[in-house]
Structure 1
Amino acid sequence: MNARTHSEMVGFIWSICNLLRGPYKRNEYRKVILPLTVLRRFDCVLAPTKQAVLDAYGKYAKQSESLRHEMLKRAAEQAFYNTSRLDFQLLLDDPNLVAQNLNAYIAGFSPNVREIMERFEFGAQIARMDEKNLLFQVVRSFASLDLSPTRMDSSQMGYVFEELIRLGAEQANEEAGEHFTPREVIRLMVSLLLTSEADLAKPYVVKTVYDPACGTGGMLSEAESFLRRHNEDANPRLFGQDWNDDAWSVCRSDMLIKNHDADRIILGDSFTADGYSGWTFDYMLANPPFGVEWKQQRWFIENERDTQGANGRFEAGLPRVNDGALLFLQHMLRKRQPVEPDGSGGSRIAIVFSGSPLFTGDAGSGESNIRRWIIENDWLEAIVALPDQLFYNTGISTYIWVLTNRKDDRRRGKVQLIDGRQFSEKMRRSLGNKRNELSSVQIDDLTSILGNFADGETCDITDEDPVTHQPRTQPRVVSKVFANEDFGYHKITVERPLRLSFAATPERIGRIESESAFVKLATSKKDPGPAHDAEIVKGELRQQQLRDLLDALADRTAGQLIADRDEFLARLRLVEESLQIRLTAAERRAVIAALGERDSGAEPCHGKNGHEPDPRLRDTETVPLKEDVDEYMRREVLPHVPDAWVDHSKTKIGYEIPFNRHFYVYEPPRPLQAIEADLKTLESEIAQLLTEVTS
C-alpha cells in the first residue's frame, strides 16, 4: 500500500465519525472507530473459511469443548473463529435488529476475540448508537471497507491501526506516543539490534522477542518481519505487555490474525504486575513513554528494591519520580539470558529514550547510579542520536540505546556514539509533531556505521549554510568510540578552612540578644502559672549573667581583635573562671557566633581532624574518572586557593553521557556585512508595512 492509499484508508475510516457528531463528543469517537475497525478486520480475514467453520461447528457440536475449539480453529485456518451465520453484509439485511444481531455476531467469536471486544467495552457503544439511531449507518459504512489480507497485509493494517489511535489520542488530548512508534524508527531499532546476529540464518532458528511497553505491537511485528526476511524458516516467538486497553486490544488482534499465540500479549502494568517474571528473552525492544511519572507504582517499586535487592529489578537505583524511562531499561536488563561458557546465549536490547536519561541526575543520584551500573558492567554497546520531529507527539531529541551482555571482543570496555541527527528527510505532510522521517537508505547507513565501529568515521552531510542560507554538503564526524571510563567522573568536595576573628565590641556584644540559644533561655515550655513564671525569671537571670560575662571580656580585651579562635576561647575561659560562670555548649556557640566574623586574614580554626571547613567556602569539582584527583587539585585548584583540600569522605562517582558535547559543530559567526544586509532588508520591510498601514 503506498502512502496515499494508506492516508485515504485512514481518512475514510475517520470520516465515519461524522455520523457520530452530536450524540458523541470528539474525544469519544475512538470508542466506536477502533473496535469496529478490529471487528471488520476479523470479519474480512475469516470470510474465505466462513462456510468451513459453520460446517465444522455442526459436525463437532457434540464433542468436548476443547476438541471443538481446536477443530474450529483448524477449519478457520486461524487462531480464532466465528460460529455465527452473520457477517457484516448480513447485518445490514434487517436494520431494525442490527443491535441484536451485532451482539449475536460478536458472541459467536471464539473466547480470545470476545475478550478483546469486552476490553473495548464495545457493548455499551452498540446500545448507545442504537438508541440514537446511528448503528445501522455506522455498520453500513464499515461493511463497505475491504480490510482483507489480500488488500492489506499485517504491516499495512498496523499502520492504519496506529494512525487511528494517534487521531483518537489527539482528540482526547492524550499522548499518542505512549501507544506506538513510527515504523521507520522501529525498523532502525530492529536493524541495529539484529543485523549483526550471525545465527539468524540457522535452519528453523527459534528466537524470542519481548516488548514491555508493546502498545499496538509495532516493534514485535517489525522484528518478526526482519527475522523472516533473513530466514523464512525462522520461528520468532513474540511476547509483550501493555496497560492501555485500546493498544493491547489492537496488538492482541494482530497476533491472532498472524497465528501467533495471542496469550503472550499480556494486559497490565509491567512494573506492578510483571507478566513475565523470571523469563528471559533473546531480543528486547521498547519505546517507553517520555517523561511519564511513576508515582502510582512508587510503593511497589520501592518495596521491591528494598526487599529483593540484587534479586529484583531495581537494584541499581531509582530515577526521579517524574520520569520512569530508566525503570523500563532495568526491567528489561533483568530479563537477559545468561551467556554460556562457549559464548552462546545472552541478549540484545534496543530502547528509545529522550535526552534526559543521558545526563539527568548528579553523582550519587538514582539516574547516575543506573548509568554507572550499566556502563561499569559493560552492557552499553552504542547510542544513536535521532533527528528531531520524528515522533507524532513530540519534537524533542531522541536516542536509541543498544545494550547487550555479550559484546564482541573489539567492543569490550567501549561505547560507540553515533550522530544520526542529520539522517532524515522532510515529509510531504506533517502528522502531528512528526515532520521528518528516515528513508530505507538512511536506516542502512546508520546500521552500517554501527557495524563499522570506527572512531572518527565521517559522512557527507547536507544542511543549510548559516551565512548564505544555501544547501551545503560537507564531511562530518558521525561516529566516535569511547572507553567506558570516559563517561565517569569523581565529584569531589573542596573544603577551605574556617577563619574567624573575634572582638568584644558593643556592636558585636549586642548581637547576642538575637542568638536563638540566648533567646530560648527566657522562654518557658510550661503552661502559664507559678512554674512558668519561675522558669522565665531563672532564664532572665541567666541572660544577665551572659551579658555581664561579655562586658567583663570587653574590659579585659579592650576591644582588641583576636585573629585566632583558640586564643579567643582561652581568654573566654579565663573570664568564666573569674566570674565562676560555666557556659553550656549551646551558650558558647552563641557567644562565638555573636563576637566572631569571617576574616580571610585570621588563623584557620582547628577541628577534631585538622582544619575545620567553612561551609560558605565549600565547593565541588568534577574530575574525570581517568584523572588523578590529587594531580587535578595541584593543577586546577591549589594555584588559586592554596589552603584548599579534598574531603574524600564526600567523594561520589557519577556517570553521564554528554552527547552534544562530543558532537558539537562549531559555526563561525556571520560576517558583519551579511548581518548589516539583513538589517537593511528588515528596515525596508518594516517601512513598507508602515506605509501600507498609514495609506
Structure 2
Amino acid sequence: MADNQNILQYESKIWATADLLRGCGIKESEWPSFMMPFFALAMIESRLIRMLDDMKTVYGKETLSDMDKADYIDLIKDKGQGYNVYIFERHKTLKDICANDKSFDIDFDAYLHGFDGETKDLLGVDATEGEKFLDIKGVITKLKAKKVLLGYTKEWSEIDLKPFNNSEITTLEEHIKRKWADISAETAGEQYTPDDVIGLIAEIIASKIQESDKLLKLYDCTCGGGNMLFGVEDRISQKVKRMTQTFGQDWNDALYALAKIESRFRVDSKIEHGNTLTDDKFYNDEFDVVVANPPYGVSWKGYQKDILNDKTGRFKFIPSISDGQLLFMQHLIAKLDATGMGVVVHNGSTLFSGDAGSAESNIRKWMLDTDIVEAIIQLPTDEFFNTGIYTYLWVLNKNKDAARKHKVMLINANEKFKPLKKSKGSKRKEVDEQSRLEIVDTLTRFVDNDYARVFDKEYFYFNKQAIMLTNVDDNGRSFESQLDGDKKSQKLKPVKLDNGERTLTDFDITTFDAAQFASLADYFENDIKPFVAALDYKEQPLVVTTAKAYYHFDNDKETLIKTENGQTEELGCGKIVVKASLKNANRSQPERIEITIELTPDYQKDYEIIPFHKDAAGNQQAIEAFMAQYVSKPFAYLENVVGVEINFNKVFYKPESLRPVTAILADIAKLDEQIKALEAGLTL
C-alpha cells in the first residue's frame, strides 16, 4: 500500500485541475465550489473500485463474471458505502467515459445517475432549490457554458486514488481542503483547522484516555468537512488501543457532503446536516469526547427566535446576538457524559467579552462554578489560514483528578512554534511536534513553569460593587443635611426662574401665543420642554426666586446657596431640579403646563472593581477595606455582581526593559551634533 508521502504528490496534480478554470475566466475564490464535487467523485470512485477489487480477492476470482452478479451487488449495497451501476455492472470508470468525446455528455449524465440515492443527493446530481450540497449539477451547467466540461472532467479522471487506503485519502483530502481555505472566505477559518492544531488537540485528548474495550464516542457540533473530527480520531487510534465512533453535524451544504462521504468509508461514523443550535440531530446522545472550532463573531440573529424559545435546557445564558461561540460552548458541555472531556477552539472574545452580570460573564462563571474548565491554552498568532489573531484551546474535563478540582491552568504557548518556510494565507507559524509534546507534558504535570500557571478558579472572579455616592461641598456637607425625616427633596414655590438668557414667571401655564404655536401641547413640545431640558444649574447662572429668598449653585464651592434678606447660607452640595409636564384638562382645571422646582442632594451611582474572595465573610471584608482606602465620599452599598474574566496579558505580562539613562543621553548628544552639522551646512 502507498504511504502518505506518495499520496501527497497528488496534491499538486489535483490543484493543477484549476488551471483550466483560470483559463476560462473563473475567479480563484470560486475554484473550491468547482473542485469540491469532482474531488468527491474521485474519492468515491476510487473507493468503490477498491471495494470491487477486494471482493475479487475474497472470492479468488480474477473477474467477477464467474460469480452471480446479484450476489456481489447485494453484498456491496449492504456495505452502505455507495454504489454505481457503471462501476459494478458495466465495469466502466470516469476515465472510460471521457475516452469517447462523442457520447460523453450522455454517458457522463448516466454515470452520475448510476450512483445510489444518497450519493446522488450528496453530489447534488438532481439539485434544484433548497439543499444542493456539492451541487455538481450547477457546476456542470457553468462548465458547459464555458465549453470546458469534457476537458475539466478528463483532468479529474486522470487522478487515480485507487492505490491508497481510507486514511491516506483522508490525509490528501485535508491538504486539499486547506488549500481551499487559503483562497475562499466561504470555506476558510471557521471550517478548517490546521493539521498542527488538530495534532495538539489529539495529543491532549490521548493523554487523558485509558486503553479499554469501551467504545470511545467523539463528537464535533460544527464539523465542516470533518478534518478535525476525523483527524483527531485517526491520531487517537494511533496512540491508544480503543475502538472509536464519530458523530458530527454541520450546516454548510458542501462541507457536510464531503464529511458525509468520508464518514461512509469509516468503521463507525454518523454525520448529520443541519443547524446544531436549533436542530440538534443527536439530542438524545452524550459523548466521551467533544471537539469543535465553531465560527468566530458570527451573528445568530437569523434564528434568534428558535434560540430564545429553546426547550432543551442547553443554554444557561444567552450571549450577545453578534457572536454565537458561547452558545456552541454551552451546547458542547451539555453533550458531555458524566466523565466526558473536550477541547474547543475559540478566539479571545470568549475570555473577556461582556461586563459582570452580562450573559458572557455569567457563562464563564457558570463554567468555573461547575468546575468543568481544566485549562486554557493560548496559541501563537498567525496560526490559522484566514486570521492572524490569538486563538485559544479550552480544555474541558468533567472528571478532573482530585488535585485539579476547582483549579484552572493557563498555558501561554505563544512562543511554542516554528515559523513556516512559506506562508499559507495568514498562517505563518505551526505548533511543531516538539512544542505539542511540551504543551501536553505541561498540562499533564499541572504545575507552574515559565509559561504556565495554575490558579484557584476564583482568581478569575471579581466583584463589581455598585455604590451610591453622595457628593459634598468644600466643607464636606451635602444638601441631605437640610432635609427632615425621610424627605428626598425640598420643593420650592418659585415666582421667577432666570438662567441669564430667559426669565420665567409663570409656572402654571394655560395660554400660548396662537400666532406662533398651534396648541398648548405644541407650545410645550417646541418651547417649554426644550427650554427646561437645556437648563443646567452648574453651567448657567441659574437663579430660582421664591417669595422670601433666591437660590443658586456656587461652582467654586460646589454648594447650593440660599440668599434671604441679604444673608447667604451654604446649604451643601445638591442639585436644582426643574421639571415640566403637560397636564390634561379635568373637571376642576383646564389643560395646562406645570413647572416644578426642587432642591435635592447630589447622588451619583458608581461602580468599583474589587478582587474576589471565595469566603463570603472575607469577600465582604475585602470590599469594605477597598472602600475605606479608595472612596473618600459618603456612599451607600447597592448591588454586588460577581463577574468572571480571563486575562492572559495580566498573568503573563512582561514589561519591556528600560534603557539606561546614560545611553539615552548619549543618543541625544549625538543627535545634537548631527543637527548642528546640518545647521552649519545651511548657513554656508
Structure 1 residue 553 and structure 2 residue 570: aligned?
A: no
**Cα distance per residue 1:555-576 (max 9 Å; x no partner):** 982364444489999xxxxxxx
- Which amino acid in 1 is paired with 2:253? D
Q: Where does 1:62-211 land on structure 2 (aligned, <5 Å)?
A: 70-73=74-77, 79-84=81-86, 85=90, 86-118=92-124, 119-150=133-164, 153-169=168-184, 173-174=185-186, 176-198=188-210, 201-203=211-213, 205-211=214-220
1:251 to 254, 259, 279: 259
SS in 1 for 2:282: coil
* Aligned partners of 1:292 and 1:323 also within 8 Å: yes
Partner residue, 1:572 = none
2:403 to 390, 410, 425: 410
Partner residue, 1:610 = none
SS in 2 for 1:147: coil
Structure 1 residue 358 and structure 2 residue 362: aligned?
A: no
The 1:15–1:587 alpha-carbon spacing in structure 2 relative to 1, beyond 3 Å, is same
- Which amino acid in 2 is paired with 1:72? I
Structure 1 residue 666 and structure 2 residue 666: aligned?
A: no
Partner residue, 2:319 = 319
The 1:639–1:535 alpha-carbon spacing in structure 2 relative to 1, beyond 3 Å, is closer
Q: Mean alpha-carbon deviation: is it higher for 158-167 or for 326-335?
A: 158-167
* Aligned partners of 1:494 and 1:644 also within 8 Å: no
SS in 2 for 1:109: coil
Q: Mean alpha-carbon deviation: is it higher for 437-446 or for 251-260?
A: 251-260
* Aligned partners of 1:287 and 1:351 also within 8 Å: yes
TM (norm. structure 1) is 0.75
Distance 2:162 2:674 in 1: 57
The 1:614–1:254 alpha-carbon spacing in structure 2 relative to 1, beyond 3 Å, is same
1:238 deviates by 0.5
- Which amino acid in 2 is paired with 1:389? D
* Aligned partners of 1:393 and 1:433 also within 8 Å: yes
Q: Which has the higher strand share?
A: 2
* Aligned partners of 2:496 and 2:504 also within 8 Å: no
- Which amino acid in 2 is paired with 1:104? A
Q: Mean alpha-carbon deviation: is it higher for 221-230 or for 483-492?
A: 221-230
The 1:111–1:680 alpha-carbon spacing in structure 2 relative to 1, beyond 3 Å, is farther
The 1:679–1:433 alpha-carbon spacing in structure 2 relative to 1, beyond 3 Å, is farther
The 1:215–1:645 alpha-carbon spacing in structure 2 relative to 1, beyond 3 Å, is same
1:42 to 37, 41, 44: 44
* Aligned partners of 2:496 and 2:546 also within 8 Å: no
**Cα distance per residue 1:186-213 (max 9 Å; x no partner):** 1111221231222xx223x311100001
Partner residue, 2:425 = 432
1:219 deviates by 1.9
Distance 1:684 1:265 in 2: 73
Distance 1:2 1:148 in 2: 13
Seq. identity, %: 26
The 1:300–1:684 alpha-carbon spacing in structure 2 relative to 1, beyond 3 Å, is farther
2:455 to 472, 482, 496: 482
* Aligned partners of 2:496 and 2:545 also within 8 Å: no
SS in 2 for 1:296: helix
* Aligned partners of 1:176 and 1:393 also within 8 Å: yes
- Which amino acid in 1 is paired with 2:375? A
1:495 deviates by 2.6
Distance 2:402 2:374 in 1: 12
The 1:564–1:22 alpha-carbon spacing in structure 2 relative to 1, beyond 3 Å, is same
1:415 deviates by 0.8
**Cα distance per residue 1:99-152 (max 9 Å; x no partner):** 222221122222232121012111122233234321121111112223235287
Q: Mean alpha-carbon deviation: is it higher for 322-331 or for 82-91?
A: 82-91
**Cα distance per residue 1:293-322 (max 9 Å; x no partner):** 211122211122xxx3xx51112x122122
SS in 2 for 1:647: strand
The 1:620–1:639 alpha-carbon spacing in structure 2 relative to 1, beyond 3 Å, is closer
Distance 1:495 1:435 in 2: 51
Distance 1:533 1:217 in 2: 66
SS in 2 for 1:137: helix
* Aligned partners of 1:99 and 1:127 also within 8 Å: no
Distance 1:480 1:179 in 2: 31
1:88 deviates by 1.8
The 1:83–1:533 alpha-carbon spacing in structure 2 relative to 1, beyond 3 Å, is closer
- Which amino acid in 2 is paired with 1:373? W
1:620 to 608, 619, 629: 608
Partner residue, 1:235 = 243
2:381 to 374, 381, 388: 388
1:274 deviates by 1.3
- Which amino acid in 2 is paired with 1:44? S
The 1:665–1:565 alpha-carbon spacing in structure 2 relative to 1, beyond 3 Å, is closer
SS in 2 for 1:133: coil
- Which amino acid in 2 is paired with 1:334? A
* Aligned partners of 1:34 and 1:165 also within 8 Å: no
TM (norm. structure 2) is 0.76
- Which amino acid in 2 is paired with 1:336? L
- Which amino acid in 1 is paired with 2:164? T
1:335 deviates by 1.0
RMSD: 4.3
The 1:293–1:135 alpha-carbon spacing in structure 2 relative to 1, beyond 3 Å, is same
The 1:424–1:517 alpha-carbon spacing in structure 2 relative to 1, beyond 3 Å, is farther
1:283 to 270, 289, 300: 289
Partner residue, 1:224 = 233
Distance 2:290 2:661 in 1: 53
Distance 1:195 1:270 in 2: 28
Q: Where does 1:1-40 land on structure 2 (aligned, <5 Å)?
A: 9-20=10-21, 21-22=23-24, 24-40=26-42
Structure 1 residue 492 and structure 2 residue 465: aligned?
A: yes
1:380 deviates by 0.7
* Aligned partners of 1:522 and 1:535 also within 8 Å: no
The 1:534–1:239 alpha-carbon spacing in structure 2 relative to 1, beyond 3 Å, is closer
Partner residue, 2:446 = 453
- Which amino acid in 1 is paired with 2:209? E
The 1:351–1:101 alpha-carbon spacing in structure 2 relative to 1, beyond 3 Å, is same
* Aligned partners of 1:88 and 1:143 also within 8 Å: yes
Distance 2:673 2:67 in 1: 85
The 1:680–1:334 alpha-carbon spacing in structure 2 relative to 1, beyond 3 Å, is farther
- Which amino acid in 1 is paired with 2:85? T
- Which amino acid in 2 is paired with 1:157? L
Q: Mean alpha-carbon deviation: is it higher for 372-381 or for 511-520?
A: 511-520
Q: Mean alpha-carbon deviation: is it higher for 548-557 or for 289-298?
A: 548-557
1:443 to 436, 441, 444: 436
Q: Which has the higher helix share?
A: 1
* Aligned partners of 2:365 and 2:643 also within 8 Å: yes
The 1:226–1:682 alpha-carbon spacing in structure 2 relative to 1, beyond 3 Å, is farther
* Aligned partners of 1:78 and 1:259 also within 8 Å: no
Partner residue, 1:581 = none
* Aligned partners of 1:243 and 1:268 also within 8 Å: yes
Partner residue, 2:637 = 647
* Aligned partners of 1:175 and 1:393 also within 8 Å: no
The 1:530–1:490 alpha-carbon spacing in structure 2 relative to 1, beyond 3 Å, is closer
- Which amino acid in 2 is paired with 1:255? S
- Which amino acid in 2 is paired with 1:185? V
Partner residue, 1:299 = 305
